[in-house]
Amino acid sequence: MPIKQVLVMQEDASPDEELKKAKTELGWMVNSGLEGFDGLFGEDAKQAMISKLEEMDKGEGLVQWGIRPWLISRQRYWGTPIPVIHCDDCGAVPVPESDLPVELPRDVAFGHGNALETSESFLAADCPKCGKASRRETDTMDTFVDSSWYYWRYTDAMNDDFCFDKEVANHWMNVDFYCGGIEHAQMHLIYARFFTKALRDLGLHDIDEPFNELLCQGMVNKGAPWCDTCAITLSVDHAGSPCPQCNSELGERSAKMSKSLGNTVSPEDMIETYGADTVRLFILFAANPTAGMAWSDTALEANNRVMQSLRNMPETILSWNGNESAMDDWLRARIRQRSCEFIQAMDIYDLRRAVEISHYEIPKDINWYIRRGGLNPAVGQELLSVWAHLISISTPHMAEDWWHVLGHENLISAAIFHNPGNVSKQHQSILDAEAYMRSFLESARKIKNIAERHLENGAKSAIVVISPHWKRDLAKTALDFIISGGNPKAFIPILSQMEICQGQRKGEIMGYWGKKMLPQLFKWDDYSRSVILSDLNEQQVLQHRSDFIAVDLGLESISFVVGESQQDTTQRAGAAVPLGPAVVYN
């Protein structure tokens, strides 16, 4: 049977091309048979067809709600009674609006079946149409019916005359943030949006969408017996036994915690063993709210060790007895940076990253501060005053203990967090310098391990060759060009006009650009690029920290030279790149 093609996926495609598969995406109309339709795309095509059908009196446009069939009745006492009376003559008759709401009776007997069927006072009712003795509907509405619009009622909860006032509802709605499980995304969220739009169409409010933002939380999983042959998950009662259906040996798989499987964990038992803070820390650090999470007793124990290491941190820091040092400014800048990172993570509900900063990254920062000779108790007090607020989000009990040790009589939960502020340009320079030195040390250690394979007595000294100035200038110019939207392939004309290309080395530098610098530009991450574009002086940074670097690398001496300068006798300048010095061990 010939198939007439009515859509093409490219605007200029031929309508006579052979169809190889069904078209399921939006496309351009062809072969419509009516003037004015060919060439229309997507929504424009739909609206044109609706208008034409209405003009021809052959049809009309309709709004179809994207909602699945919804059975709202439940055989439960706890629910909103369905306002219907069943009459033998008149059938199902709605309860008159003047008699609403239908309230649940008190004289019910709970046990088997629907408790409402045990209340004669509730069951007996007169038919609103003919007045004959009739029977009231005993099914109640699914609670989703009420939860689909309760937030509208919350805007005007004391209104005894109407569900809510339109102006009041318009003022308070819509809801800023909605958090729910996956079943909410498929059910409640759809119903709530349907109710909102239906109430809007009835003129009860002017809001189009009920929620500004949705966070769909993941499920918590734990191991349960699994039969690969039958492809079923079994209750933990079958653990260690063969499959009850096929007698095969059972394995294990991660499955959603449920009472039916028995793979649940009692929060009370965990809290009794580890404390509430440890359990909170584990849950928040194990996965982000939107991700699934596999329960792990081993990970819980690891988080408990973290808590034990942090518990007495205030006493330890307040006992520091050092003087002021250059690292004090670094720690002050670092806590500003960590505070900003923490707030940013919380703002986007990246709770795992927030906990990582407050309970894992900051202790590492303190260890580095001490390793670099910092032990100033005054700076430690500043750190703790901020840090206590950061840990209070996930481990509030420990935070209160810290707050008390710091001499506060009030609760930290009632205290205002005074953000130390954004990281200034000066602070960033301090952080960049220290980060550059740490990155250099990591690279230098690797180079040393290789070099000592060829040195009989091990490395005693080193010469560090900083990238020649022209390489840094080239990198900065190229990065500026790319960041401003330039195509790297179009940079060569700009390079040819640079001062470094005006002499005999033009060919060498042009070759260096294509073979080494261009690939390197895309290896640097955003932070490295920002450092290259800054005023950081690599030689000064390393020279200023030469004593620490020598000790850390186990050297008797270390010196720093700029590649291709008069002081450079290593002939290793070619191996040095911006932020990547060459190191010669002796």
| DSSP-derived secondary structure for 150-194 | HHHHHTTTT-SSSS--HHHHHHH-SBS-EEE-HHIIIIIHHHHHH
Which residue(s) pair with 29 in the sheet? 7
Residue 109 within a domain:
yes
Higher pLDDT, 84 or 259: 84
Same-domain check for residues 178 and 209: yes
pLDDT at site 425: 94
Q: What is the pLDDT of residues 343-366, one digit of tens each?
A: 999 999 899 999 999 999 999 999
Q: Using a pLDDT cut of 90, give the percent of the chain over it.
A: 73
CA distances from 242 to 238, 250, 257, 262 (A): 7, 6, 22, 17
Judge whether 510 and 496 are in contact, CB under 8 Å.
yes
**Where would I find the beta strands (DSSP E) of 327-374?**
none
Same-domain check for residues 486 and 538: yes
Q: Rounded distance, CA 379 to CA 544, Å?
A: 22
Domain boundary among 144, 175, 205: 144
**Position 341 confidence tier, pLDDT thresholds 50, 70, 90:** very high
Same-domain check for residues 445 and 496: yes
**Position 67 confidence tier, pLDDT thresholds 50, 70, 90:** low
CA distances from 517 to 140, 473, 524, 535 (A): 72, 11, 11, 20
Same-domain check for residues 133 and 179: no
pLDDT at site 277: 95
Is the pLDDT at 535 greater than 70, yes or no?
Answer: yes
CA distances from 549 to 554, 555, 579 (A): 8, 8, 16
Return the H-helix or E-strand segment holding 93.
strand 91-94
CA distances from 461 to 184, 225, 570, 583, 584 (A): 65, 60, 13, 10, 8
Residue 521 within a domain:
yes
pLDDT at site 66: 66
Highest mean pLDDT among 123-127, 183-187, 188-192, 495-499: 123-127
Q: What is the dihedral of CA 319, 322, 327, 332, to 10 degrees?
A: 40
Contacts of 127 (CB under 8 A, 6+ apart): 85, 87, 89, 90, 93, 133, 134
Same-domain check for residues 410 and 447: no
Q: Rounded distance, CA 144 to CA 336, Å?
A: 45
Is the pLDDT at 436 greater than 90, yes or no?
Answer: yes
The pair of structure tokens assigned to 308 is 């034990």
Same-domain check for residues 419 and 387: yes
pLDDT at site 68: 67
pLDDT at site 3: 80
Same-domain check for residues 380 and 411: yes
Q: What is the pLDDT of residues 297-316, one digit of tens each?
A: 888 899 999 999 999 999 99
Q: How many domains does the chain have?
A: 6
Same-domain check for residues 387 and 302: yes
Q: What is the pLDDT of residues 408-423, one digit of tens each?
A: 999 999 999 988 889 9
Q: What is the DSSP letter of 545?
A: T
Judge whether 538 and 436 are in contact, CB under 8 Å.
yes
Q: Rounded distance, CA 560 to CA 570, Å?
A: 11
Is the pLDDT at 259 greater than 90, yes or no?
Answer: no
Lowest mean pLDDT among 174-183, 336-345, 508-517: 174-183
3-class SS of residue 9: coil
The pair of structure tokens assigned to 290 is 């939107």
Q: What is the DSSP letter of 81?
A: B
Same-domain check for residues 524 and 580: yes
**Position 10 confidence tier, pLDDT thresholds 50, 70, 90:** confident
Unique residue bearing structure tokens 């010469």: 463
The pair of structure tokens assigned to 171 is 């003022």
Q: What angle do CA 427, 431, 432 make, to 5 degrees?
A: 115
Judge whether 37 and 45 are in contact, CB under 8 Å.
yes
Residue 116 within a domain:
yes
pLDDT at site 290: 76
Same-domain check for residues 258 and 276: no
The half-sphere exposure of 443 on its side-chain side, counting CA atoms within 13 A, is 15
Burial of residue 343 (number of CB atoms within 10 Å: 0-12, 13-18, 19+): middle
Unique residue bearing structure tokens 């450092």: 531
pTM higher than the cut 0.75: no
Contacts of 512 (CB under 8 A, 6+ apart): 471
Residue 61 within a domain:
no
Q: Rounded distance, CA 499 to CA 266, Å?
A: 71
Q: Residue range 14-22: average pLDDT? A: 80
Domain boundary among 389, 423, 457: 423
The pair of structure tokens assigned to 135 is 């029977």
Range of the domain at 22: 7-55
Q: Rounded distance, CA 486 to CA 492, Å?
A: 11
Q: Residue range 176-184: average pLDDT? A: 81
Q: Rounded distance, CA 575 to CA 563, Å?
A: 9
Amino acid at 478: A
Contacts of 443 (CB under 8 A, 6+ apart): 580, 583
pLDDT at site 283: 87
The pair of structure tokens assigned to 445 is 């250690």
Same-domain check for residues 276 and 418: yes
Judge whether 563 and 468 are in contact, CB under 8 Å.
yes
Lowest mean pLDDT among 9-13, 163-167, 581-585: 9-13
Is the pLDDT at 244 greater than 70, yes or no?
Answer: yes
Residue 67 within a domain:
no
**From the centroid of its chain, how far is CA 335?**
23
3-class SS of residue 69: coil
Cα–Cα nearest to 218, from 263, 175, 188, 257 = 257
Q: Rounded distance, CA 29 to CA 570, Å?
A: 71
Computed over its alpha carbons, how large is the radius of gyration of the chain?
36
Residues making up the chain, counted from first to last: 586
Residue 65 within a domain:
no
Same-domain check for residues 309 and 376: yes
